Amino acid sequence: MRFSKIPGLEDEKKILVNSYNSNTIHHAMLFIGNKGSANLSLALAFSTYINCQNKTDDSCGQCSSCSKMDKLIHPDVNFVFPVAPTTKINKEVISDKFIESWRSSVIESPYLSVEDWFEIYGFENKQPNISKDEVRNLIKKLSLKPFESNFKINIIWLPEYLHLSTSNAMLKILEEPPGDTLFFIVTNNDQKLISTIKSRVQSFKVKRFSDEDMKNYLASHKDISEADVDQAIYLSDGDINKAEKYLFVSNKDDLDQLKIWMRSCYSQNFQDINEQVEWFNTLSKIKKRTFLAYSLKLMREALVSSIDESLSRISDDEMSFISKFRNTLNQKDFEDIIILLDENIRYLDRNANPKILFLDLSIKVSNLFKKVKS
């Protein structure tokens, strides 16, 4: 992670770079930022910077140290994060045993939330924490000299998950670390840390992303409209992870849901249709819009691919759904559905009542099927 990959936050980056260049890095820094902020990514970028062999005002991104940092495998950077016992790992439950999953999760999404991490690893129903064993392991590592770098950096993600009995042991390490040791402690909620820990660290507040920073970051993703980006930013309150989810993490569910909805319209079973209306109504506004926009996209694809299949840009699952659909409806019907969906997205944007809108839309689609069936 380089500083330049993180949108905005120029002041924060400058402070970190200056503290390195003036040799005034505090040995224990607390990166405080909300969920979906750059607290973890700044700690990563700073570690990359410190270790880089050709740094200027950012890390070079190319030296052997940078390339190890990109993969989060630098031997002098150690990670600690909350974990829980699993059926396979039930003794000495420490971060090292989960490191590969953690690496790939963070590389894929450096703004991930703790809930994402718990879900990825299937910890949801347990109580992950940073255990006494973890601190014992950390002490063992601190006794070693750095391998390649001038520092041994320890990134501790979410100290709010320190087990109560661990906090004091952690305090001891923070008080008397070996001279070449740095702690970058990354928290979403410093209120949850015991005051003795807070008094040993230097607080470094990471602002939430500005709307403009988020826009620049999200605009680098192709295939989304400016209106969608604006709406995702509006609903996510500076949480870049949330904004990305609003925009991207719905297609699989949307396809399943679209199949159910179309089936209920086709069968003209009003109990089923009503259930779909209730389901639609439970979605957030942007998810409602995302669902309709997704349905519209697929209908357009169905129309395009009926002309030339090679023009279509959709998954196999989507294609198989569309093919079945194409057997039922003709080109004119598709055009009608496309117009209906397009209109309804605009009604939704103008704050139409979503229940009435979706019921009306479902009835109109049902009528199209009725005509085809008769």
Cβ-in-10-Å burial (0-12, 13-18, 19+) of 277 comes to buried
Distance (Å, whole) CA 267 – CA 163: 55
Residue closer to Zn ion by CB (options 65, 181) is: 65
User: Please, which residue, 50 or 174, has the CB nearer to Zn ion?
Assistant: 50
* 169 scored as a contact of Zn ion (CB under 5 A): no
In the stretch 1-40, what mask flags binding to Zn ion with x, by CB under 5 A? ----------------------------------------
Q: 56 vs 327, which CB is nearer to Zn ion?
A: 56
Candidates 5, 8, 60, 103; binder of Zn ion (CB under 5 A) is 60
Which of residues 52 and 155 has its CB atom nearest to Zn ion in the complex? 52
For residue 333, the minimal CB distance to Zn ion (Å) is: 58
CB of 103 to Zn ion, least distance (A): 19
Q: Which stretch binds Zn ion (CB under 5 A): 54-62, 267-275, 285-293, 334-342?
A: 54-62
- The residue (of 65 and 166) whose beta carbon lies closer to Zn ion is 65
Residue 107 CB, nearest approach to Zn ion (Å): 17
Contacts with Zn ion, 325-344, as mask; x by CB under 5 A: --------------------
* Count of residues making up the chain: 374
Residue 78 β-bridge partners:
154
> Whose CA is closest to 25, among 57, 49, 55?
49
Applying CB under 5 A, does 352 fall inside the site for Zn ion? Answer: no
CB 63 to Zn ion: min, Å:
3
> Residue count at the site for Zn ion (CB under 5 A)?
5
Q: Does 52 bind Zn ion (CB under 5 A)?
A: yes
DSSP 8-state symbol, 46:
H
Neighbours of 233 (CB within 10 A): 25
3-state secondary structure of 314: coil
Residue number with CB closer to Zn ion (52 or 193) = 52
Nearest to 96 by CA among 136, 69, 125: 136
Phi, psi of 31 (to 5 degrees): -85, 105
Find the binder of Zn ion among 17, 28, 38, 66 (CB under 5 A).
66
What whole-number distance in Å separates Cα of residue 81 and Cα of residue 181?
18
Instruction: State the chain's maximal CA–CA distance in angstroms.
Output: 83
* Smallest separation (angstroms) from Zn ion to the CB of 185: 24
Tell me if 70 contacts Zn ion by CB under 5 A. Answer: no
The CB-of-2 to Zn ion minimum distance in angstroms stands at 9
By CB under 5 A, residue 63 contacts Zn ion: yes
| Smallest separation (angstroms) from Zn ion to the CB of 57 | 13
Q: What strand order describes the sheet that includes 28-32?
A: 77-80, 152-157, 181-187, 28-32, 202-205
- Residues in Cβ contact with 29 at an 8 Å cutoff, skipping those fewer than 6 apart: 43, 182, 183, 184, 185, 201, 202, 203, 204
Angle of CA points 47, 158, 214, to nearest 5°: 70
Residue type, 6: I
Q: What residue ranges bind Zn ion (CB under 5 A)? A: 52, 59-60, 63, 66
